[in-house]
Structure 1
Amino acid sequence: MKPHIKEVLIGLLIGIIANLSGIYLYIYFFSDHSLEETLQGAIENDFIGSLIALGAILNLMAFFVFLKKKQNYRARGVLLATLIAAIVILISKF
């Protein structure tokens, strides 16, 4: 595997983990219900896209950290994770 593809995949993995962590942190700090109850309610009431979008805020931090460290391929992976989150949000709206 080429080195730059490996770096993009590492960035993608970090972007997905950052997004999931952001969703968890948002639910932990701002929800009165458990994680499972909140996710189930989000799916039933069609605001799962909003949770994903709020979780993607942590991707912004990871993206700029990689840019500052001159790890451009990892930053591209985080950007790819953000685009995947946007596509999932778009699909969940229909």
Structure 2
Amino acid sequence: MNNIVKQVLAGTILGFLVSALGSFIFMLILLPTNDLQNTFNKLLASGLLTKIITLGTLPNALVFHLLIKNKRDYIARGVLMAVVLLAVLFAALKML
């Protein structure tokens, strides 16, 4: 594989991981309970899970800024691609 493709793929994976970690942190802050599975099920049933994941995507802006500042443009493109893919996915879910 081309080096550019590897960097964009690494950035996309990084974007998804940062979004997952941010979502987990927002769940812990906003809904401090001991049972994570029960909290996840409540959020899914109430339709708030997509909103929590969207809030969890906000730290990607910081990651994107740091990557651009350090001249890691292709990895930053991958992070941006992850954000766009999540946005399209949640827009499609809203329409269903």
Identity of aligned residues (%): 27
Q: Is 1:7–2:1 an aligned residue pair?
A: no
Residue 16 of structure 1 aligns to a residue whose secondary structure is helix
Residue 70 of structure 1 aligns to a residue whose secondary structure is coil
Q: After TM superposition, list the pairs within 5 Å mapping 1:2-41 onto structure 2.
A: 2-33=2-33, 34-41=35-42
- Give unpaired runs (5+ residues) of structure 2: none
Q: How many residues align?
A: 94
Q: Is 1:55–2:42 an aligned residue pair?
A: no
1:68 match: 69
CA distance in 2, matches of 1:3, 1:69: 18
Q: Runs of at least 4 residues of structure 1 off by over 2 A?
A: 32-35
Partner deviation per Cα, 1:8-65 (whole Å, 9 max, x = no partner): 0110011000000000001112213332222211211112210111010111111111
CA distance in 2, matches of 1:2, 1:50: 36
CA RMSD of aligned residues (A): 1.1
The TM-score with structure 1 as length reference comes to 0.92
